[in-house]
Amino acid sequence: MAFENIQQFIERLTQEGELIECNTPVSTELEITEIADRFSKQPANTNKAILFTQTGTKFPVLINSFGSEKRMNIALGTKNLDDVAARIDTLFKTVSHPKKNIWDKLKVLPLLYELQSWMPKVITSSAACQEVVNHTPDLHEIPILKCWPYDGGKFITLPMVITSHPETGIRNVGMYRMQVCDKNTTGMHWHLHKTGANHYKAYKKLGKKMPISVALGGDPAHTFSATAPLPENIDEFMLSGFLRKKKVQLVKSITNDILVPADADFIIEGYVDPSEEKFMEGPFGDHTGFYSLPDVYPYFHVTCITHRKKAVFPTTIVGIPPMEDAWIGKATERIFLAPIKLMLVPEMIDYSMPDAGVAHNLVIAKIQKEFPGQALKVMNTLWGAGQMMFNKTLVVVDQNCEISSPESIVSAICNHTSPQHDVHILHGPLDVLDHAAPQTGYGSKLCIDATEKLPEEMQNPNPAQSYSCIPITETEYSNRVTIAQEYAQKHQNISFIILHDATIEAHDYHTILWHILNNCDPKRDCVIQNNLVIFDGTTKQSDITQRDWPTPVVNSDEIIEVVNKKWNEYNLGEFIPSPSLKYKKLQTKQSAWLYSQTKK
């Protein structure tokens, strides 16, 4: 189903019981974050999208609108997220199947017509996104959030940043956060691997300013498509047209030639000047659950803001999982299963990216194993494929493992993994946000071959037997590997030892997994000795990492108390305690905290 505008999406969410409205005045600095965070970590029956109508501006704020499987299905017009993968699978098979005669070829014609219907269409008539045009733009008139206490400022978090290559004209729609600097300037946070950054380099080489338009709102399929891991030559608006089964209408921006979705709520037009000195952007409470640390990024200069007369400002917050972005990631996982199987890894039955792995830290790949070394073939293929190159920890299992069951995955590792032969550590590119890596965007990766071994692979007849998690206190950090070795000597059946901070409760496996995956660089932090693997997922000090170490993202005591006192005024239902209380003990007075103190 295609939504004509975000208001239709809101109406549908309301009809489905997936949205609640808050008509109490709220602050865009931390208060909306605290309320949304409480809902995003709730089970499906109480996890709702929220529309804040009193934001101190003339625009309401919509948040957590993608924050459940049901809402993702509503946004994409599906009953099941696997439906899209099935459509893609049918499409590829129809196109690639040998055509024996003229009748087989004629059967493809309806498909070609459908393909044409996904292509975006340029309109010259008036567009809803330009009902109001402001040539003296002021970003302070928009309810942009300051998400977390140590953030460097307010951030636009759901922008569709639209650029085109200066020579090829190929369009890109990416989602790059934008820190507000003043009323008409923001940052443009595109990582070095992203297409937006490639376009920037091309403009810099030519010595030209780079026109950019940023869209917010409209059909939610547009927003999802901007997050999708597409190749550079695939238009995100074509993906949106495919998802909504209706072509996207585009209109020319007012002050540049960038085409923007006509149904958007806001369009922020402007440019980046590659000759201009960059600025120190951040910190920002990021999707890893930690603050991403300050770094240099270009300025984006706003020349014009247009919007609907009754515009709604869509936004999101990210932080310690699960949050809204986990469900966007789940949709990406399901939708892109078919292309990965068809074009890269035909033996892959399924894969999973658990939310504790914050997208890039953990992938479980389930394969139909038929020959020795196949798990390593899958490892090399996935680590060389698009955004899968950022994956840090890969576990390959075979067809007998149920990857939706943590117990089944652990059983596969313990029964089929020889620590000496089936635990592989390589170097390669990593997500820029990986703070455990020795250098920004580059470090080591870990692959565990947990498939059942064929005779040719039986180098060690003694696979791993069991695992144990050991909490490490701050006073034990310098001696943590010795502690693990002594423990293994006393427990001969233990083959995997996971070290984690003692501030995490021993049976809180979700938090342990999230924390250790963020805090481990496999080459530095994994010790493989005989039939034992020691996985050090503890917090590191800068003398070990030679890099700043960020603190986890939690809200302030003051704002938690404000929300507690106002809860009944919000009329949002039964009281929900703050998730931040659980994670306060994980905070460290490093990096983002220190940076915030220098700005006081």
**What token pair was written down for 231?**
């190749």
CA distance 63 to 194: 26
Own/partner long-range contacts of 20-23 (Cβ < 8 Å, ≥24 apart): 20/48, 20/49, 20/50, 20/51, 20/572, 20/573, 21/50, 21/51, 21/53, 22/50, 22/51, 22/52, 22/53, 22/54, 22/570, 22/571, 22/572, 23/53, 23/54, 23/571
Name the phi and psi angles at 499, rounded to 5: -95, 130
Distances (CA, A) of 151 to 29, 297, 519, 555: 10, 16, 21, 11
DSSP-derived pairing of the beta strands 299-307 and 185-187: antiparallel
In 100-159, the DSSP E strands lie at 121-122, 132-134, 155-156
Three-class DSSP category at 145: strand
E-only strand ranges, 530-579: 532-536
Tell the residue number behind the tokens 């990216």, with chain if given. Answer: 353
For the question of residue 286 being annotated catalytic, the response is yes
Q: Rounded to whole angstroms, what are the CA distances from 288 to 103, 359, 544, 546?
A: 52, 9, 21, 20
139: which residues sit within 8 A by CB, 6+ positions away?
180, 182, 183, 184, 186, 268, 302, 305
3-state secondary structure (DSSP) of residue 455:
helix
64: its two tokens: 């957590």
Report the distance separating Cα 445 and Cα 188, nearest Å: 29
Half-sphere exposure of 579 (CA within 13 A, CB side): 20
d(CA 448, CA 468): 17
In the β-sheet with 526-529, what is the strand arrangement from edge to edge? Answer: 467-472, 496-501, 532-536, 526-529
Q: Which of 37, 151, 263, 286 is catalytic?
A: 286
Cβ neighbours of residue 196 closer than 8 Å, sequence gap 6 or more: 161, 163, 172, 174, 176, 188, 190
The pair phi, psi for residue 477, each rounded to 5°, is -55, -45
Place of tokens 């003692």: 502
Interatomic CA distance for residues 229 and 493, integer angstroms? 42
Beta strand 266-272 with 299-307 is antiparallel
Dihedrals phi, psi of 144, to nearest 5 degrees: -80, 140
- Tokens 């109480």 correspond to 46
Q: Compute CA distances 47 → 30, 121, 559, whole Å.
A: 19, 36, 21
Tokens in use for 468? 């144990």
Residues 6+ apart with CB under 8 A from 479: none
Q: Rounded to whole angstroms, how far apart are CA atoms 506 and 490?
A: 20
DSSP 552: B
β-pairing, 393-398 vs 362-367, is parallel
The catalytic site residues sit at 286
